[in-house]
Amino acid sequence: MPTSPVDYARNNRSRYLEMLKELLSIPSISTQSVHNADMQRCAEWLTQTMSSIGLKNTAIYPTPGHPVVYGEWLEAGPNAPTALIYGHYDVQPPDPLELWETPPFEPSVRGDNIYARGATDDKGQLFIHLAAVDALFKTTGALPVNIKFIIEGEEESGGKNLDPFIKSHQDLLAADCALISDTSIVSPEQPSIVYALRGLATLEIEVKSAARDLHSGQYGGAIHNPLLALSQIISAMFDENNRITIPGFYDDVLPLGDEERDLLAALPDTLLQETGARNLWGDPAFTPVERISARPTFEVHGIVGGYTDEGVKTVIPAEATAKISMRLVPNQDPQKIAQRFTDYVNALAPDTVTLKIRQTGLGNGAVIDRNDPSMMAASNAYQAAFRRRPIFTREGGSIPVVAAFQRILDLPVVMMGFGLTDDRLHSPNEKFHLPNFYRGIETSIHFMREYAKLKAA
Amino acid sequence: MPTSPVDYARNNRSRYLEMLKELLSIPSISTQSVHNADMQRCAEWLTQTMSSIGLKNTAIYPTPGHPVVYGEWLEAGPNAPTALIYGHYDVQPPDPLELWETPPFEPSVRGDNIYARGATDDKGQLFIHLAAVDALFKTTGALPVNIKFIIEGEEESGGKNLDPFIKSHQDLLAADCALISDTSIVSPEQPSIVYALRGLATLEIEVKSAARDLHSGQYGGAIHNPLLALSQIISAMFDENNRITIPGFYDDVLPLGDEERDLLAALPDTLLQETGARNLWGDPAFTPVERISARPTFEVHGIVGGYTDEGVKTVIPAEATAKISMRLVPNQDPQKIAQRFTDYVNALAPDTVTLKIRQTGLGNGAVIDRNDPSMMAASNAYQAAFRRRPIFTREGGSIPVVAAFQRILDLPVVMMGFGLTDDRLHSPNEKFHLPNFYRGIETSIHFMREYAKLKAA
């Protein structure tokens, strides 16, 4: 009896792990131009790997920013559906480096996990589908469905080049559903499917006062310190209930229905344990789980300016910049919110400083139809691999491409994730849970079979 | 006829400039431990130079931090007074490096100025007195007064080791006056003597929320972002009139008398031109010149935490730290103010974060008797070298050693400066005005002669 794809995948776990380690060793940090050559190297690794496992027409498509990687196999027959599998090969910067137990680009297996930058976000998750394709080809010589891979390099840098790429390659990318593994499941024993995502608007506020850095003893008291001015602007963004004060910010936020509130209330609230926070924070009108998933947010990610090295330097910096983002719920328009924010900050700014606001990234939120055949196929696939039916969840994070696939390609988008909430994505010691990696490969194999069946039915 | 000391100094300007360049080439940055060897090298350069020009008992005194440099000449006779000349050989960090036209530790003469970190603060100014001593020895074989040099290495790092050093070396440092050149004069044509200085308390506020950096998509909305919490604390430090809200902060601030307000009103207000600010800022109850000199201040010098590199990283940092300082007027006690600040911040902090406050430096303000013989000698010396009588000013900066000399050694302290307000101390392209450097050497020679005369009278 020939080996089944699932058995083959089980027998080849260590080989797939070694391949994943190769991919994780490439520091493909899209936000830092010093890593541009690594980005190219990572794109080449992917096309070579895709070709070697049997995908066709693999190519690196240039964009004005980092390239898009493509590969396909379209020989499943005239009635077979096509799944467009999306992933991203870029990763977050690894700093602060000193907090990593092992170097971020030297993948290290400890216990049940593999530790590296990008392990869960998204290299480990995207590689799952390459391994599934490999196992199917090696054992059956074919795939149950047509497959197209699109793997981008600007997910972590608010990249503006993917939407235009999708728009100008609609024939290339035409499919029946999109499949994305870039989200978390509730636990290793409880798979879950994200059916709603928040959108994102990232901006920078730059405040200038004097023409040069000044000595605080010489000028302190007569110059509006840009770090103070920024602090005043930032703190004015919240009222005493931790609600965002930008006029009109909540206008397009749809009220949470009872069914959704019940669904969210059923999820475990382990936020305190996961984060180690002293107490949770936020708008008391909503539960913490609602706040992190179904409500919009405002965050400061860094404040640049002045003296931040060891010791004391009594400088009034000439300028200071805050990097901020707002997570948005599906009905909020990122462009409109960015404009409202800009108007509000300009209205708040006193005439003692000069202000510049830069938009660095915008992405729409999304809600997915839970009854699409692709969603049902994913549910059956999880059931087969995890022996447990998945639950449906909202995710606080933003995957702008989900809205793009919906809007531009009119596709249902299945977020079939294998991460865990303690994977520390974007943090030091990012990891991927290896049992999820291996079950993920099996889930992907099952998905292709289930989708072929359900779509034909 | 033998050459006079002043003529000798004029004939040796280029030699003194070359020696100053040597001193400025040493990156003696006291706040950065990577420069510890440079600190030692700078101290050795000073003792060698002092010995070579004829000073005695030159020595490098170790402290728990950076060493103190000492040298003396005490052979002026039993009736001659003793002046204790203070300077500091450490300098501020030079960043941001990219804004320097020439490298900060490669001194460059352009036009009437020498550009280098430490040019005016304080290497150029302290070297004036070594050149004056040299000119006097070379031409007369003696000095009109006894001289002791004390040159410290922690002025820019809020050093805590000088006060204990002075306390434990009171006999070594005993004198009739202290002379410090570490301040600015009104213009190259209008010398001025600082008779009042602000004190300084520098602190760090560290705010922690979660145990690790978090993804803002995953946890945003439920965790108190430490950068937001810091912004809220900082903006709560000021009311709508830009007055500091720390309870009791102004309690010990003496009201400004009419005579002082008239004196300050007579000073030119060129703050807008000097700083290039859009508009001045501050408490409308006081003039800008009063605010920068006779009123206490609160400044933020840098905010550490989160992502500050190129691009976007949607992180909620686990912690963030603000480096702050308060400039204090003479009657305010830095220790008491630091405590009031600490109590206030702790009262403001919500239970969603954990707070730590560190004191990184405390220094008292000072007011000097304008009628002391040493002050009159300085006035005559300026008149002789600049052909113009100096005016008396308040300085916003802090020279903690002034209060220490007053308190511990009971000395009048003459602040006979040669800097200019546009010297960019603590900023890129710090400079020293060479005509002030050369006139400074002559002023120092005149001071020693005048002080000998007036003290004998």
Question: pLDDT per position in chain A (457 positions), as tens?
Answer: 679 999 999 999 999 999 999 999 999 999 999 999 999 999 999 999 999 999 999 999 999 999 999 999 999 998 999 999 999 999 999 988 999 999 999 999 999 999 999 999 999 999 999 999 999 999 999 999 999 999 999 999 877 899 999 999 999 999 999 999 999 998 999 999 998 888 899 999 999 999 999 989 889 999 999 999 999 999 999 999 999 999 999 999 989 889 889 888 887 788 999 999 999 999 999 999 999 988 999 999 999 999 998 888 889 999 999 999 999 988 899 999 999 999 999 999 999 999 999 999 888 888 898 899 999 999 999 999 999 999 988 877 777 789 889 989 999 999 999 999 899 998 999 999 999 999 999 999 999 999 999 988 7
Distance from the Cα of A280 to chain B's closest Cα (Å) equals 5
Residue count (chain A): 457
The answer to whether residue A185 neighbours chain B at the CB level (below 8 Å) is no
User: Who among A224, A323, A424 is closest to B281 (CB)?
Assistant: A224
* Alpha carbon separation from A326 to A198, A375, B17, B225 (Å, rounded): 9, 28, 56, 13
Q: What angle do CA A221, A225, A228 make, to 5 degrees?
A: 110
* Interface contact flag, B300 A198, Cβ < 8 Å: no
Q: Would you give the DSSP letter of residue A121?
A: I
In A396-444, beta strands by DSSP E: 413-415, 431-433
Confirm if A220 and A319 have CB atoms less than 8 A apart.
no
Same domain, residue pair A14 and A158:
yes
Beta bridge partners of A291: none
Same domain, residue pair A189 and A209:
no
Confirm if A434 and A112 have CB atoms less than 8 A apart.
yes
Collapse the DSSP code of A124 into the 3-class scheme (helix H, G, I; strand E, B; otherwise coil) and give the result.
helix
The answer to whether residue B203 neighbours chain A at the CB level (below 8 Å) is no
The answer to whether residue A378 neighbours chain B at the CB level (below 8 Å) is no
**Residue B419: Cβ-neighbour burial (10 angstroms; 0-12, 13-18, 19+):** buried
**Residue A74: Cβ-neighbour burial (10 angstroms; 0-12, 13-18, 19+):** middle
* Interface contact flag, B217 A396, Cβ < 8 Å: yes
* Interface contact flag, A297 B221, Cβ < 8 Å: yes
Calpha distance B243→A235 (Å, rounded): 18
**Residue A243: Cβ-neighbour burial (10 angstroms; 0-12, 13-18, 19+):** middle
Distance from the Cα of B133 to chain A's closest Cα (Å) equals 30
Q: Which pTM was predicted?
A: 0.73
Which residue reads 């009201």 in tokens?
A: B255
User: Who among A214, A218, A277 is closest to B209 (CB)?
Assistant: A277
Query: How many Cβ pairs within 8 Å bridge chains A and B?
Result: 352
220-239 of B, contacting A, C-beta below 8 A: 220-225, 227-228, 230-232, 234-236, 238
Copy the structure tokens of residue A420: 């865990």
| Boundary residue ending a domain (B304, B339, B363) | B363
A247: CB partners within 8 A, 6+ apart: A340, A343, A344
The answer to whether residue A288 neighbours chain B at the CB level (below 8 Å) is yes
Same domain, residue pair A327 and A376:
no
Residues of A in contact with B155 (CB under 8 A): none
Q: Which of B239, B201, B292 is nearest to A220 (CA)?
A: B292
For residue B54, the enclosing domain spans: 5-197+365-456
- The continuous run of DSSP H or E covering B169 comes out as none
Same domain, residue pair B95 and B123:
yes
At residue B139, what are phi and psi to the nearest 5 degrees?
Answer: -105, -30
The answer to whether residue A183 neighbours chain B at the CB level (below 8 Å) is no
Confirm if A219 and B292 have CB atoms less than 8 A apart.
yes
* Interface contact flag, A398 B217, Cβ < 8 Å: yes
Confirm if B127 and B20 have CB atoms less than 8 A apart.
yes
Side-chain-side CA neighbours of B8 within 13 Å: the count stands at 17
Same domain, residue pair A204 and A167:
no
Cα dihedral sign, B268-B273-B274-B277: positive
* Interface contact flag, B278 A353, Cβ < 8 Å: yes
* Interface contact flag, B218 A317, Cβ < 8 Å: no
* Alpha carbon separation from A167 to A82, A85, A149, A404, A419 (Å, rounded): 18, 17, 16, 9, 29
Of B280, B300, B356, which to mutate for an interface test with A (greatest number of A Cβ within 10 Å)?
A: B300
CATH number at residue B29: 3.40.630.10
Residues of A in contact with B424 (CB under 8 A): 212
Residues of A in contact with B282 (CB under 8 A): 221-222
Q: Which of A298, A269, A264 is nearest to A283 (CA)?
A: A298
The answer to whether residue A371 neighbours chain B at the CB level (below 8 Å) is no
A74 alpha carbon, distance to own chain's centre? 28
Confirm if A339 and A346 have CB atoms less than 8 A apart.
no
Residue B140 lies in a domain: yes
The answer to whether residue A314 neighbours chain B at the CB level (below 8 Å) is yes
- The continuous run of DSSP H or E covering B165 comes out as helix B162-168
Residue B262 lies in a domain: no
The answer to whether residue A310 neighbours chain B at the CB level (below 8 Å) is yes
The answer to whether residue A366 neighbours chain B at the CB level (below 8 Å) is no
Residue B418 lies in a domain: yes
Same domain, residue pair A331 and A204:
yes
393-422 of A, contacting B, C-beta below 8 A: 395-398, 421
CATH number at residue A311: 3.30.70.360
Copy the structure tokens of residue A247: 């006029």
Q: Would you give the DSSP letter of residue B156?
A: G
The answer to whether residue A92 neighbours chain B at the CB level (below 8 Å) is yes
Task: Determine how many CB atoms are found less than 10 A away from the CB of residue A15.
Answer: 11
* Interface contact flag, A219 B278, Cβ < 8 Å: no
The answer to whether residue B332 neighbours chain A at the CB level (below 8 Å) is no
Residue A187 lies in a domain: yes
Residue A274 lies in a domain: no
Q: Which of B432, B325, B429 is nearest to B96 (CA)?
A: B429
Indicate the number of domains in chain A: 2
Distance from the Cα of A376 to chain B's closest Cα (Å) equals 25
Same domain, residue pair A429 and A447:
yes
423-452 of A, contacting B, C-beta below 8 A: 424-428
Give chain A's end-to-end CA distance (angstroms, integer). Answer: 29
Collapse the DSSP code of A285 into the 3-class scheme (helix H, G, I; strand E, B; otherwise coil) and give the result.
coil
The identity of residue B238, as a single letter, is F
Cα dihedral sign, A214-A209-A338-A405: negative
Same domain, residue pair B184 and B227:
no
Calpha distance B314→A301 (Å, rounded): 6
Confirm if B153 and B90 have CB atoms less than 8 A apart.
yes
Task: Give B252-321 as a DSSP string.
Answer: TPPPPPHHHHHHHHTS---HHHHH--SS--S-TTS-HHHHHHTS-EEEEEEEE-B--SSS---EE-SEEE
Residues of A in contact with B222 (CB under 8 A): 271, 280-282, 288, 291-292
3-state helix, strand, coil in chain B (%, to 5): 40, 25, 40
Same domain, residue pair A98 and A157:
yes
Same domain, residue pair B247 and B352:
yes
Residue B158 lies in a domain: yes
| Boundary residue ending a domain (A363, A392, A414) | A363
Distance from the Cα of B304 to chain A's closest Cα (Å) equals 6
| Boundary residue ending a domain (A363, A394, A417) | A363
Same domain, residue pair A332 and A385:
no
User: Who among B217, B303, B350 is closest to A227 (CB)?
Assistant: B303
Which ipTM did the prediction report?
0.73
Distance from the Cα of A95 to chain B's closest Cα (Å) equals 8
List chain B pLDDT tens, one digit each, 457 residues. 679 999 999 999 999 999 999 999 999 999 999 999 999 999 999 999 999 999 999 999 999 999 999 999 999 998 999 999 999 999 999 988 999 999 999 999 999 999 999 999 999 999 999 999 999 999 999 999 999 999 999 999 877 899 999 999 999 999 999 999 999 998 999 999 998 888 899 999 999 999 999 989 889 999 999 999 999 999 999 999 999 999 999 999 989 889 889 888 887 788 999 999 999 999 999 999 999 988 999 999 999 999 998 888 889 999 999 999 999 988 899 999 999 999 999 999 999 999 999 999 888 888 898 899 999 999 999 999 999 999 988 877 777 789 889 989 999 999 999 999 899 998 999 999 999 999 999 999 999 999 999 988 7
Q: Which of B182, B130, B173 is nearest to B405 (CA)?
A: B173
Same domain, residue pair A326 and A435:
no
Residues of A in contact with B400 (CB under 8 A): none
Residues of A in contact with B315 (CB under 8 A): 301-302, 426-427
Residues of A in contact with B351 (CB under 8 A): 278-279
Residues of A in contact with B288 (CB under 8 A): 221-222
For B228-261, the pLDDT digits (tens) are 999 999 999 999 999 999 999 999 998 988 988 9
Residue B272 lies in a domain: no
Task: Give A19-72 as a DSSP string.
Answer: HHHHHHTS--BTT-GGGHHHHHHHHHHHHHHHHHHT-EEEEEE--SSSPEEEEE
Residue B322 lies in a domain: yes
**Residue B107: Cβ-neighbour burial (10 angstroms; 0-12, 13-18, 19+):** buried
Q: Would you give the DSSP letter of residue B208?
A: E
Give me the helix-helix angle, A36-53 and A124-140, nearest 10°.
Answer: 20
